[in-house]
Amino acid sequence: MSKLTHINDKGDAQMVDVSDKAITTRIAVAKSVVLMQPSTLELITSGQHKKGDVLAVARIAGIQAAKKCADLIPLCHPLMLTKVSVELSANTEDSSVEIIAT
């Protein structure tokens, strides 16, 4: 079994030293499907939901979450993000919204 890099010899959590790591380009992709009642999807896609533009708020929330990864994930190093994209696609066949974040 390989050694866990975020645990020291005493078994305590530690943040890994990445100062010698080369700068590289990385791409992460997260995908999700949110199922809902058909009437809810209709309100969202028609812009009639009482809470406003639900998809715009979801897109902004996804971008903010990417920017806050180092704050939300324990022992995560801050990364310089050069682009965050959140694509939302409504699907009336199964009453869902597919979300792809890169």
Q: Domain map of the chain by residue range?
A: 39-101
> Is the predicted pLDDT of residue 1 greater than 60, yes or no?
no
Q: Span 39-101: which CATH code?
A: 3.30.70.640
Query: With 0-12 CB in 10 A as exposed, 13-18 as middle and 19+ as buried, what is 36?
Result: middle
What share of the chain has pLDDT > 70, as a percent? 98
Does 85 have pLDDT greater than 60?
yes
Give this prediction's pTM: 0.81
- What is the mean predicted confidence (pLDDT) over 35-40? 98
> Pairing mode, if any, of strands 30-35 and 86-91?
unpaired
From the list 94, 77, 89, 101, the residue with the least C-alpha distance to 38 is: 94
Looking at residues 55-62, what average pLDDT do you find?
Answer: 98
